[in-house]
Chain A
Amino acid sequence: MNELPILSILILLPLVGIFFMTLIRNDNDQSSNNLKHTALWISFLNFLISLYLLFAFNQQDADFQFEERYFWIENGISYHLGVDGISILFIVLTTMLVPICILASYNSIKFSVKEYLIAFLALETFMIGVFCSLDLVLFYLFFEGGLIPMFLIIGIWGGERRVYSTFKFFLYTLAGSVFMLLAIIYIFITAGATDVSYLLDYNFTRNEQIVLWLAFFASFMVKIPMWPFHTWLPDAHVEAPTAGSVILAGVLLKMAGYGFIRFSIGFFPEASELFAPLIFTLSIVAIIVTSLIALVQEDMKKLIAYSSVAHMGFVTLGIFTFTVQGIEGSIIQMISHGIVSAALFLCVGVVYDRLHTREISRYGGLVSKMPMYAFTFMIFILASLGLPGTSGFIGEFLVLLSIFSINTYFAVFATTGVVLAATYSLWLYRRMIFGALIKDDLSEMLDLTRREIIIFVPLITLTIIIGIYPKPVIDIIEPSAKKIVNQVNGKLN
């Protein structure tokens, strides 16, 4: 079974799809439909392969599985892939969201369809690569490479201020990441290799750890994003096309959370312990401040974008508690946020496609015209504010539990974030869905089409299943999370 290089197949399949798509002409509606179908099937096939990966994954084993290692650049820098309980769920999340994104852009992308789909498949390759790679240089390659398609997706198919947003997105992320590059090079020189499994057993001195941790932190804090470097995210979200926002919120932010778990606390436990109060403070500030900012937004996408920053604050809180619950909680929070915020952006996309505005005040009373939409939107709003029975609750609960065991004050402040989340989410819902339908242009609104229902059904199902019975997910994460926590505690003592 392990002889099949399944991770490489996952990474390469979208590229194969790109190759075939370059051969398809794009001069009329028929051929552009062919292109859409090709991209959809390729990404769906990739999803099936990732399900097989999930199925074949040994849940008892905390080590890396499906490992592949080939000589790549030179000794110490190899093409090394592998998954464990921490990364596998992100891979499935990615492969699940990409076909959904492609399906969601069937009608909203009017021009240059071919380039759009190619950019998306290229982005999928980079995203899967990030979660699979067990070599820092390879990781950096995928981590930064994803900027190129995303830059084009926002810049070409985005809204009015797309150029400003996409430049801001690119330059912020690049400026953060180059320091990580220097840190990776330093690791390569001092430790002699950039292999992750080798480095997890390597002990850096305390001073080295502090500098390297800060360099990695610079990259991840911009990407995740943490207050005060979050300002690129609302801009990018607002201007990106719907599918771009979905991928941005659903997967790209998670790369940084994954990086924190895998690299920051895995390689530099002492520095992580030292800087944990800093992370806690920044996260709590982020949770409270961005929730308050979300409260006053006029633009739906901006509101959800700020709520993303707040939700990612919970993720960083959980990771730096160094407890099994904390890490499990933050991974579930990331998965849940990946599903829920993606779905929320899709919900925005549904009404945006009909009315071409994201201003909240232009809507109101949609429930009378779009009952199914109102129902769908409700589920995700409730999941986003962490109602018990939805996936959002599990993650937030575990994180709050772990932070409570560390420090009561932080827990109290973090909990206020939950209340604020309820405030802005419910208020958004009230303004859009409830009330009387008095605006004329809303009377023409149609409810969800069949295509949109197909998009939302799996997301709703997952949100509720994880919310009611999270055990299968926790079972996958637990061994690896325990291993990391043991490793960190072992190094600290």
Chain B
Amino acid sequence: MENIVHIIPEIFIFCSALILLILGLFIKNIKLINNLAILSLLIAVAIVINQPYQSIYLNSYIIDEFSSLFKIMIFIGSIVTLVMFISSREDLHINLYEFPILILFATLGMMVMVSANDLLAMFIGLELQSLSLYVLAALNRNSLLSSEAGIKYFILGALSSGLLLFGISYIYGFSGNTNFNLIAVNYNSESLGLLIGIVFVLAGLAFKVSAVPFHMWTPDVYQGAPTPITAFFALAPKIAAMGLLVRFLFNSFGELYLDWQQIIFFISIASMMLAAFAAIAQTSIKRLMAYSSIGHIGYALIGIACVSSEGLRSLLIYLMIYLVMNVSVFTVILSLKRNDAYFENISDLSGMYKNHPFTTILVALMMFSLAGIPPLAGFFGKFYIFVAALESNMVFLAVVGIIASVISAFYYLRIVKIMYFDESKEEFDGLNIRSLQVLFYPSSFLVILFFIYPAPIIQLSEYAIKSFY
């Protein structure tokens, strides 16, 4: 019974989702429901920060520095999505009170994912998150693209869940355990079944983080889903799935990393290279961001492939910076609005700096940051990833990483080029929306001024990986 104390944040989010669901039936004020959802997420942040660290329910659920940091990143992603929802809900035809509630359920699923230390808890978390996301992607029922995105995501997601379950059943069958810490105890080189299990679970998780070759859904879903939900896809679920991946690999097979390292090695290289080339030809900014996120996941995976404390540290630094950069970019995408119509083609940005000089320079700097050009925050993310790679003697990975980063600089520069060097169009009136500015300016300045004193983020990530090293 005393264990309940440790899962108060989860219970709190669950209860507020249920209460808001009932409230939504009677109150037609969607904005109020949305704000209450934001409030409950903020309260959950406060609770998570002050939580004692403990592993509970027979070590199947862990609350530690690592999970708390991930939960806070997930909360930030959810809050950002809800704020974006306020300004765009009517024009995007997603003015439904289910939106904040589904976000809350997805958040709950992700909280379970990052704390799970057991195959079953992991699966429950994943499914709760995925089911909410399937609905969210298809939320704009009248749009063919949105429905297509939802169906596509659902079918492929169900397939990946199938792979995952298949892997889980193998692991359970050959080890007799579902707890991460106990799975690998009896592992030896003859237990091929366990290895097959790892491969299938990794395939399922690679789908969730959208790493190549399980990335096919990403561009379509990013493009089809309403923009706030696309932002949510980019912000929260990937980060949560990375956290889960780390715990699954390090807690259960940390000693036996030689067996899975090469898998991560391969999908990391494939993600970086494919994203760098595929993004060049994109015309939709949301598709471009989809490929960009695939590439960034590739870099983050280098951190896992290193299997070292530096690797994990760099992974956390990278994810935090990735989160902030994406908040900034997606708020801008959402504010590209003229007369209640949204623009999603890269060519619509053309000559934007004539009408919006200040916003445009910030967006341009975000692009440079995504490309990893110093002195912006994105550079430090890559810097630490490469430090970790070289420290683990993975020179090849680092060299592929820098080559991919030079190639990907091209498509980020293309956006800068279109904004600055091309003919200008009419003004965007969406850039004046207050609630988006609240997100855009702080996140942009955080990225730009990060270089002044990066030490806190680095110390924070060192603190968060304590439970692994």
Contact = CB atoms under 8 A, between A and B. Distances in A.
Partners in one complex: yes
A114 interface: yes
B375 A182 contact: no
Nearest to A129: B375
Interface string B361-388: 1001100100001110001100100110
B156 interface: no
Contact of A185 (B368, B390, B458): B390
Contact of A151 (B354, B380, B406, B413): B413
Interface of A: 22, 71-74, 112, 114-115, 137, 140-142, 144-145, 147-148, 151-152, 155-156, 162-163, 167, 170-171, 174-175, 178-179, 181-182, 185-186, 188-189
Contacts of B453: 72
B420 A155 contact: yes
26 contacts: A72-B455, A73-B458, A74-B458, A115-B353, A140-B374, A141-B375, A144-B374, A147-B373, A148-B368, A148-B373, A151-B416, A152-B364, A152-B420, A155-B416, A156-B421, A163-B421, A174-B406, A174-B409, A178-B403, A178-B405, A182-B398, A185-B383, A185-B386, A185-B390, A188-B387, A189-B387
B451 interface: yes
A155 B364 CA distance: 13
Nearest to B409: A174
Given A115-B353, A167-B417, A145 B375 contact: yes
A171 B420 CA distance: 18
B357 interface: yes
Contact of A179 (B387, B390, B402): B402
A199 to B, nearest CB: 17
Given A74-B458, A179-B402, A181-B386, A145 B374 contact: yes
A151 B409 CA distance: 12
A74 B406 contact: no
Given A141-B451, A145-B373, A167-B410, 17 more contacts: A72-B455, A73-B458, A112-B354, A114-B357, A115-B357, A115-B361, A144-B379, A155-B417, A155-B420, A156-B421, A163-B421, A167-B417, A170-B409, A170-B413, A182-B398, A182-B402, A189-B390
Contacts of B391: 189
B418 to A, nearest CB: 10
Contact of B365 (A22, A72, A144, A148): A148
Contact of A73 (B361, B373, B410, B454): B454
Interface in B329-361: 353-354, 357-358, 361
Q: How large is the interface on B (under 10, 10 to 19, 20 to 34, 35 or more residues)?
A: 35 or more
B120 interface: no
Contact of B383 (A72, A114, A174, A181): A181
B374 A74 contact: no
B399 interface: yes
Interface of B: 353-354, 357-358, 361, 364-365, 368, 373-375, 379-380, 383, 386-387, 390-391, 398-399, 402-403, 405-406, 409-410, 413, 416-417, 420-421, 451, 453-455, 458
B421 A71 contact: no
B419 to A, nearest CB: 10
Contacts, number: 86
A142 to B, nearest CB: 8
A22 B358 contact: yes
A73 B374 CA distance: 14
Nearest to B399: A182
B406 A178 contact: yes
B349 to A, nearest CB: 15
A74 B380 CA distance: 12
Question: Do most interface residues of chain A lie in helix, strand or loop, or is the interface mixed?
Answer: helix
A174 B358 contact: no
B332 to A, nearest CB: 18
Contacts of B402: 178-179, 181-182
A147 B416 CA distance: 13
Contact of A144 (B373, B416, B454, B455): B373
A188 B383 CA distance: 11
A171 B373 CA distance: 11
Nearest to B454: A73
A14 to B, nearest CB: 14
A137 B373 CA distance: 13
A233 B405 CA distance: 23
A96 to B, nearest CB: 25
A147 B361 CA distance: 15
B375 A73 contact: no
Nearest to B310: A189
A185 B314 CA distance: 13
A163 B416 CA distance: 11
B387 to A, nearest CB: 5
Contact of A174 (B373, B390, B455): B373
A148 B406 CA distance: 14
B406 A162 contact: no
A148 B371 CA distance: 11
B325 to A, nearest CB: 15
Contacts of B375: 141-142, 145
Contacts of B361: 115
Nearest to B371: A174
B455 A71 contact: yes
Q: Identify which of A22, A137, A147, A178 gathers the most chain B CB atoms within 10 Å of its CB.
A: A178
A178 B383 CA distance: 10
A170 B408 CA distance: 13
Contacts of A72: 453-455
A167 B414 CA distance: 9
Contacts of A115: 353, 357, 361
B335 to A, nearest CB: 20
Contacts of A162: 421
Q: Identify which of A72, A148, A162, A167 gathers the most chain B CB atoms within 10 Å of its CB.
A: A148
B386 A141 contact: no
Contacts of B398: 182, 185
Contacts of B354: 112
Contacts of A189: 387, 390-391
A151 B391 CA distance: 33
The 7 closest A-B CB pairs, nearest first, are A178-B402, A141-B374, A141-B375, A144-B374, A145-B375, A175-B406, A145-B374
A170 to B, nearest CB: 6
A175 B403 CA distance: 8
A182 B386 contact: yes
A163 B413 CA distance: 10
Contact of A171 (B357, B383, B406): B406
Contacts of B458: 73-74
Nearest to B380: A73
